[in-house]
Structure 1
Amino acid sequence: MQLIRPSNVLTAISDVLAGLAIACLFVQQALPSWDVILNIVVSSMLLYTGGIVYNDVFDAKLDKIERPERPIPSGRIDISSAAIFGAVAFIIACWLAYQVNMTCFYMALAIVLMCLVYNGKAKHHFVLGPITMGMCRGLNLLLGFAVIPDSLSYWYLAFVPLIYIASVTNISRGEVYGNNKTAMQVSLGLYLLVVATLCYFAWQSGHTYAFLFIAGFVAMIARPLFKALKTLAPMDIRQAVKFGVLALILMNASWIALSGFWALALAVCCILPVSIVLAKKFAVT
């Protein structure tokens, strides 16, 4: 449980459901059957699980210095066992996506590839790191789109989670040593861009109740970020990252609400308190 960061894994549910809801909005189609939804949700969770496990596998040496309490550097989990566990998660995730359709299967493979590129090469690059991490989330949104392949003509909406997660990743650069004010100011600007995009689509869709969800999203990310900007303390920066990750649930609930599925949006919001409880017991970053 410490290895996979369960509170983070739950956020993947909201990603794929948001993608599916947006797809249904644009192609004017009802939600698919529950067995299809279950397959794609579990696939998304396992893809995230595999990605987060390989994060620790590739960072084992660095974590011995910066985070010796993590499962692998502390010796509680063998690195080869962790690698096998992550690979199995990826394989099952791709198989479940294949059960939906080939487009979902190809999208799942793309997510696996991007996870490995991020963890193995791009993570510590100043520019490519945040962008690649954002692409993982953007592809997860498109995994929901892929359930209805015709909706993939609206693929450009994946830039929204890409920008948002790139912003959160950018903030996380200072969570060990602090003092990354410029990075946080850049992320604040990108946050505002994401919020403006959500507001635009909520207004265009006519489902104005989505603004309630957007307001909740803004409230969750704003307070910890402004506190971190004020103190520049590693602990406050870590809190800004933590709530930035968890707030994905509300961002995705906003997408679902503006797509017209208010009941599903409320159901997704119910994931948030569970994630918050888990985040108190298990690391988010």
Structure 2
Amino acid sequence: MTVRLPDLLDLVRAPAALTVLGDTAVGAVNARGAAGGAAVPLALASACLYAAGMALNDYADADLDALERPERPIPSGRVSRKTALRTGGVLTVAGISLAFSAGRASGWVSVALAASVWTYDLVAKPTRLGPVVMAACRGLDVLMGAAGPGWQRALTPALAIAAHTGALTVVAAGEVHGTTRAAAATAAAVSVGAAAAGVVGAGAHTSAALVGGAGYLAATLPSQIDAAREPDAAHARSAARHSIHAMIPLQIALVARTGAVFTTAALLGVQLAGRLLAAARTRGDVT
């Protein structure tokens, strides 16, 4: 079976990979004040491991997607399950290799991250531990960038991104059949908490952290409140989609709190690229 590149990109949710590029930068600048020379390989490692998770997600959910989302690459016949599994494996190896190229400490964290990704997709996703494992994935992604001297200073940002991810995962579970008012309201409360975490310890850069936090809340809070009012599938999908894209504003807020101007500007560029890609996207979803 010949697989077209656009179908593989659809399998791994390529546009959504932009939302993980800033995780390791958040970890690095909070730990040591700068992203450093390892910024590019670590960002690429994050993207590879994220894409691996998307491929494995569709491999594991192929039967369910045939009923609920027949337009996805596997049930539509555009990509085979074997190809999805192979893609997940290749991208996992690539991500770990890139992380080790940036440093041994980051490499070992990437191994833990990869194990968490595979555990989520193949074991934990349908269980109550699913959101916890997914949250751990994003927290470890931040710590992959922080690995090394000063990594403890990145714990609060890592927890903020992990909490946002866990809440998002709970709401996203209702994309087909609807969520609950409690889940959406909890996600909104977590978003407020994550924004507040960006301000704590910002010191001289409190104003930048406040502006960043406001941008993050503007990106994620309205759709979560809407879902809390009307927890049907359409509002759950909207909340999930907005929460995924809000990862970048959250990263911007957590970097701005350190005064890292260049890294903040780079993430603003990533955010702009994501908006342009979203506007040009004609099919598929980011969840």
TM-score with structure 2 length normalisation? 0.91
Q: Does 1:199 align with 2:204?
A: no
Change in CA separation of 1:216 and 1:242 when aligned onto 2, cut-off 3 Å: same
Contact 2:24 2:142 in 1 (8 A): yes
Change in CA separation of 1:172 and 1:258 when aligned onto 2, cut-off 3 Å: same
Deviation at 1:249, TM superposition (A): 0.4
CA distance in 2, matches of 1:67, 1:151: 44
What percentage of residue pairs aligned between the two structures are identical?
27
Structure 2 counterpart of 1:72, which letter?
A: I
Alignment of structure 1 residues 68-83 onto 2, 5 Å: 68-83=70-85
Alignment of structure 1 residues 48-197 onto 2, 5 Å: 48-126=50-128, 128-146=129-147, 149-154=148-153, 156-157=155-156, 158-197=158-197
Deviation at 1:198, TM superposition (A): 1.5
Deviation at 1:230, TM superposition (A): 2.3
Larger relative contact order (CA 8 Å, sep ≥ 6): 1
Structure 2 counterpart of 1:5, which letter?
A: R
Deviation at 1:233, TM superposition (A): 2.7
- The equivalent position to 2:27 in structure 1, one of 19, 23, 29, is 19
Gapped runs of 5+ residues in structure 1? none
Q: Which residue of 2 aligns with 1:256?
A: 255
What whole-Å deviation, never above 9, does each CA across 1:77-118 have from its counterpart, x for those lacking one?
Answer: 011011111111111111111111111111111111000111
CA distance in 2, matches of 1:179, 1:169: 11
Equivalent residue pairs, number:
275
CA distance in 2, matches of 1:71, 1:22: 38
Deviation at 1:207, TM superposition (A): 4.3
Structure 2 counterpart of 1:101, which letter?
A: G
CA distance in 1, matches of 2:214, 2:275: 18
Contact 1:10 1:45 in 2 (8 A): yes
What whole-Å deviation, never above 9, does each CA across 1:121-163 have from its counterpart, x for those lacking one?
Answer: 111113x1111101000000001102xx112234532222111
Cα-Cα RMSD: 1.6
TM-score with structure 1 length normalisation? 0.91
CA distance in 2, matches of 1:6, 1:250: 19
Structure 1 counterpart of 2:36, which letter?
A: P
Structure 2 counterpart of 1:110, which letter?
A: A
Alignment of structure 1 residues 37-56 onto 2, 5 Å: 37-56=39-58
CA distance in 1, matches of 2:181, 2:228: 6
Gapped runs of 5+ residues in structure 2? 1-8
Change in CA separation of 1:118 and 1:31 when aligned onto 2, cut-off 3 Å: closer
